[in-house]
Amino acid sequence: MMFANVIIDISHEKLDRPFGYIVPKRLEDVISVGSFVRVPFGVGNREISGFVIEITDKSDYPVEKMKEIYSVSRDKEIVTSRLIELAHFIKTEYGSTMNRALKTVIPVKDKIKHVERKTIVLNIEGDEIGDTMASYRKKRANARLRLLEELKEVKMLPKSIVTDKLNITPGTLKSMMEEGVIRVVSETEYRNPVNIEEQEEYDIVLNSQQRQVADSIKESMGAVYSGEDVDTKDRVHLIHGITGSGKTEVYIDLIEGAINNGKQAIVLIPEIALTYQTVKRFTRKFKDKVSIINSKLSKGERYDQFERAKKGEVSVMIGPRSALFTPFSNLGLIIIDEEHEGSYKSDSVPKYNAREVAEHIAITTGSVLVLGSATPSLDSYYKAMNGEYSLHKLTGREKGNLADVHVVDLRDELHQGNKSIFSFKLQKLIAERLERKEQIMLFINRRGYAGFVSCRECGSVMKCPHCDVSLKAHNNGKLICHYCGYEVKTPRLCPKCGSKYIAGFGTGTQKVEMAIKKLFPTARVLRMDMDTTSKKGGHEEILSAFSNGDADILVGTQMIVKGHDFPNVTLVGVLAADMSLYASDYRASERTFQLLTQAAGRAGRGSKKGDVVIQTYNPDNYSIVYSKEQNYESFYSEEIAYRKLMLYPPVAHMTAILITSKDTSLLNEAVEILCGRIKCLKNEQNEKMLAIIGPADAGIARINDVYRKVIYLKHFDNNVLIQIKDNLEKLIEADRVFENVNVSFDFTPQGNY
């Protein structure tokens, strides 16, 4: 006998396991792992869809108690089944329960109030209308007469108008319904969160470089849509285009191509703050076919957007990584803008990577994936270099010129007696811009902010001798490496130059704002950070105020750097460019290069010339040198050499296992069990290439009284890491220690724990 283990659409049930079914003889030839099936479920044998994850000839249950599969669906377009398959993929690749993966992918349906829209419709025609009106006149039924006179012309009216504007009472409506003169039609009204006023027609014509890129991708779209046998080079395209090169216009052209083929598109953006400006550009072209989905919408609004997408009311969905799960019935294109951004990686379980998941969706739906960035992630560029992705370049700017970039050595400033957080150069340029009524953006690189310790005299940073990452200061007076656990007492004097100006450092946005007000008392300053943007619409308020010229200077964290387009900004200051360099993880240089290049891209987008001032203690660091030159290729070669040497992603694969518990002795026991099993697997399977790093305390070793430890695994083959994860997941399920210890997996972690 043949059995199938089936994951069913249980997004509203509480069970998290596959269910065993008997495969009837007639279906044995057509069923396989990955088939979508219809099965009986529950006491009433309600028929629902499911997804086969395993075919076997053994059953754990008594056969007489098992039910038979009804049918195997050949229709791969069933949206729900597609999403169940996706949840299963995410669970397998990233580690999670099936239920949690389903909840990530399929929005929860409970407790959502629908808005009902009621319409009053005329139910009689021809002579009947005149007769009825005559009879109303005779009866002096003035209210009924009034409504009928209106309906005679327009045939139907929204109920709200009938009751509010025509003052018709519910009683009147009821009697007219009983007479059969009218009927009430109600339908669910889906809220539309996009609220853009009238706009000019879209009139942009692609320049020749943009045209070439768009046409080449469209050629792939043609091949993929016609069901030809294609490889990933046709499915995945990376557009490396400098800031302001017009990537968005290319996206718009591609989406038009997809829509002309009867397909829909998903556009991922890295930051909610970018929603307004992105939507504005897309609605100019696609009008009311555009919708958004993000966490600032209410649960009901979010649910409604998915319903609108299912019904085909919407063709373009814009949002953060979760927009990937839009249930379009005929998806044709996925665009990930600013694909290098860390926000495309989920930081809660399942810790999925939107780019990888998008690639999977592209394969299962027959869509094309387009990644765009001025500073592509090393991961994507590496794949493009290896011929896995197609690579396209945009090298020119339609509007404005690249800014002049000045690198200021902060050590020199200190020697010249400048203790302010603004270099002399930056002060001079700020004064000049204020004079000319042009705008300024000041950006503090806050990632990796506090914690690392550096010398203000020579700029050297305390680093781990084994790992090439900076050490983090702990309250117990020690510096600790979060990769290998190495620790050392915090020195009083700089080990390099003997200076006593050695300290952890950090400058907050508020401090910058205060410093500006002291130096330039008349300047109007806006601040954008976690504090000022937490409420709904907070981002938009600040950005549109700045865009309207209500302020001269915008001070902010990295959220002001991403993608914004302010033509009047002619000066960008990066106050402490180094900060992200010392974040203790292998992506520190990549992140620094990206942030600085993106920041530089904000200046001079209008007709006026722009300047960028980068303040740093490391003017010779390659990520700073190459970002000054806006030289991505050179940065890439230097950085990839380092990754090769250290066997970091994308050259090798890496998984972080985070183990947490309130009880330190349970935590230690759990860590020991896991490490023991990993070492066993390494030996048994002769995995000489498996590197085990740690266990060590996590970067933040305790959060809310929960203690955290971390183990890193590295291997060239991601499948080996997935197998280890599967093995550990089984162990975790079986061993009681893990009832009070939480374990989560993070494949290709973006930072460290």
Q: What does the binding site for Zn ion look like in residue numbers (CB under 5 A)? A: 455, 457-458, 464, 466-467, 481, 483-484, 486, 494, 496-497, 499
Q: Which two tokens stand for residue 30?
A: 């057509």
Partner whose binding site includes residue 207, from ligand ADP, Zn ion, none (CB under 5 to 8 Å by kind): ligand ADP
In the set 17, 183, 299, 399, which binds ligand ADP (CB under 6 A)? 399
* Site membership for ligand ADP, residue 565 (CB under 6 A): yes
Partner whose binding site includes residue 618, from Zn ion, ligand ADP, none (CB under 5 to 8 Å by kind): none
Tell me which H or E stretch contains 278.
helix 275-286
Supply the minimum distance, in Å, between the C-beta of residue 581 and ligand ADP.
25
Partner whose binding site includes residue 241, from ligand ADP, Zn ion, none (CB under 5 to 8 Å by kind): ligand ADP
Q: Name the residue nearer to ligand ADP (CB basis): 283 or 660.
A: 283
Supply the minimum distance, in Å, between the C-beta of residue 247 and ligand ADP.
4
* Site membership for ligand ADP, residue 373 (CB under 6 A): no
243 Cβ neighbours under 8 A, 6+ residues apart: 374, 597, 598, 600, 601, 602
The span from the CA of 317 to the CA of 279, in Å, is: 10
Partner whose binding site includes residue 155, from Zn ion, ligand ADP, none (CB under 5 to 8 Å by kind): none
Q: Name the residue nearer to ligand ADP (CB basis): 253 or 578.
A: 253
In the set 81, 96, 209, 243, which binds ligand ADP (CB under 6 A)? 243
User: What phi and psi values does residue 593 have, to the nearest 5 degrees?
Assistant: -60, -45
* Site membership for ligand ADP, residue 594 (CB under 6 A): no
DSSP string, 61-112: S-GGGPPBP-EEE--TT-HHHHHHHHHHHHHHHH---HHHHHHHHS---TT-
Sheet order of strands, 156-158 included: 156-158, 115-122, 182-189
Q: Name the residue nearer to Zn ion (CB basis): 289 or 482.
A: 482
Stretch of 64-72, 242-250, 580-588, 646-654 lying at the interface with ligand ADP (CB under 6 A): 242-250
The span from the CA of 350 to the CA of 325, in Å, is: 14
Helix axes 378-385 and 632-646, enclosed angle (nearest 10) = 90
HEC secondary structure over 408-422: EEHHHHHHCCCCCCC
Q: Name the residue nearer to ligand ADP (CB basis): 234 or 338.
A: 338
Q: Name the residue nearer to Zn ion (CB basis): 458 or 488.
A: 458
Supply the minimum distance, in Å, between the C-beta of residue 493 and ligand ADP.
46
Supply the minimum distance, in Å, between the C-beta of residue 457 and Zn ion.
5
In the set 244, 270, 332, 604, which binds ligand ADP (CB under 6 A)? 244
Q: Name the residue nearer to ligand ADP (CB basis): 243 or 660.
A: 243
* Site membership for ligand ADP, residue 448 (CB under 6 A): no
For the chain, what's the residue count?
753
Stretch of 45-53, 247-255, 287-295, 380-388 lying at the interface with ligand ADP (CB under 6 A): 247-255
* 95 burial type by CB count under 10 A (0-12 exposed, 13-18 middle, 19+ buried): buried
Bridge partner list, 658 = 710, 744
Supply the minimum distance, in Å, between the C-beta of residue 241 and ligand ADP.
5
The span from the CA of 291 to the CA of 704, in Å, is: 38
Is there a contact between 753 and 708 (Cβ–Cβ < 8 Å)?
yes
Supply the minimum distance, in Å, between the C-beta of residue 251 and ligand ADP.
8
Supply the minimum distance, in Å, between the C-beta of residue 472 and Zn ion.
11
3-class secondary structure, 169: coil
In the set 77, 388, 398, 487, which binds ligand ADP (CB under 6 A)? 398
In the set 246, 459, 610, 695, which binds ligand ADP (CB under 6 A)? 246
Partner whose binding site includes residue 467, from Zn ion, ligand ADP, none (CB under 5 to 8 Å by kind): Zn ion
* Binders of ligand ADP in range 184-223 (CB under 6 A): 204-207, 210
Q: Name the residue nearer to Zn ion (CB basis): 480 or 543.
A: 480
* Site membership for ligand ADP, residue 305 (CB under 6 A): no
The span from the CA of 365 to the CA of 350, in Å, is: 22
What is the radius of gyration, based on Cα positions, of the chain?
30
If one counts every other C-beta atom within 10 angstroms of the C-beta of residue 68, the result is: 12
- In terms of Cα–Cα distance, which of 752, 737, 746 is closest to 664? 737
Partner whose binding site includes residue 497, from Zn ion, ligand ADP, none (CB under 5 to 8 Å by kind): Zn ion
The span from the CA of 584 to the CA of 452, in Å, is: 8
The span from the CA of 102 to the CA of 12, in Å, is: 10
718 Cβ neighbours under 8 A, 6+ residues apart: 653, 747
Q: CA of 249: how far to CAs of 238, 546, 706, in Å?
A: 15, 24, 47
Q: Which two tokens stand for residue 241?
A: 């285009």
Supply the minimum distance, in Å, between the C-beta of residue 594 and ligand ADP.
14
* Site membership for ligand ADP, residue 285 (CB under 6 A): no
Sheet order of strands, 653-661 included: 691-703, 706-715, 653-661, 742-747
Supply the minimum distance, in Å, between the C-beta of residue 628 and ligand ADP.
19
Q: Name the residue nearer to Zn ion (CB basis): 464 or 698.
A: 464
Supply the minimum distance, in Å, between the C-beta of residue 391 and ligand ADP.
16
Supply the minimum distance, in Å, between the C-beta of residue 581 and Zn ion.
16
The span from the CA of 297 to the CA of 272, in Å, is: 11
Q: Name the residue nearer to Zn ion (CB basis): 396 or 491.
A: 491
* Site membership for ligand ADP, residue 606 (CB under 6 A): no
CA-CA-CA-CA torsion sign (718, 622, 402, 386): negative
Is there a contact between 567 and 575 (Cβ–Cβ < 8 Å)?
no
x/- mask, ligand ADP, residues 506-545, rule CB under 6 A, reads ----------------------------------------
Supply the minimum distance, in Å, between the C-beta of residue 294 and ligand ADP.
20
Partner whose binding site includes residue 494, from Zn ion, ligand ADP, none (CB under 5 to 8 Å by kind): Zn ion
Is there a contact between 592 and 624 (Cβ–Cβ < 8 Å)?
yes
Supply the minimum distance, in Å, between the C-beta of residue 583 and Zn ion.
14
Partner whose binding site includes residue 693, from ligand ADP, Zn ion, none (CB under 5 to 8 Å by kind): none
The span from the CA of 167 to the CA of 143, in Å, is: 8
Counting residues that bind ligand ADP (by CB under 6 A) gives 16
The span from the CA of 731 to the CA of 745, in Å, is: 14
DSSP string, 119-133: EEEE---THHHHHHH
Q: Which residue, judged by CB position, is nearest to ligand ADP in the bound state?
A: 246
* Site membership for ligand ADP, residue 253 (CB under 6 A): no
- In terms of Cα–Cα distance, which of 729, 667, 733 is closest to 698? 667
Partner whose binding site includes residue 213, from Zn ion, ligand ADP, none (CB under 5 to 8 Å by kind): none
The span from the CA of 466 to the CA of 184, in Å, is: 75
* Site membership for ligand ADP, residue 249 (CB under 6 A): yes
In the set 235, 247, 263, 682, which binds ligand ADP (CB under 6 A)? 247
* Site membership for ligand ADP, residue 695 (CB under 6 A): no
Supply the minimum distance, in Å, between the C-beta of residue 485 and Zn ion.
7
Stretch of 222-230, 245-253, 646-654, 690-698 lying at the interface with ligand ADP (CB under 6 A): 245-253
* Site membership for ligand ADP, residue 245 (CB under 6 A): yes
What one-character DSSP code corresponds to residue 1?
-
Residue 254, CA atoms < 13 Å, CB-side half-sphere: 33
Q: Which two tokens stand for residue 100?
A: 């949690």
* Site membership for ligand ADP, residue 240 (CB under 6 A): no
**Interaction site with ligand ADP (CB under 6 A):** 204-207, 210, 241, 243-249, 398-399, 565
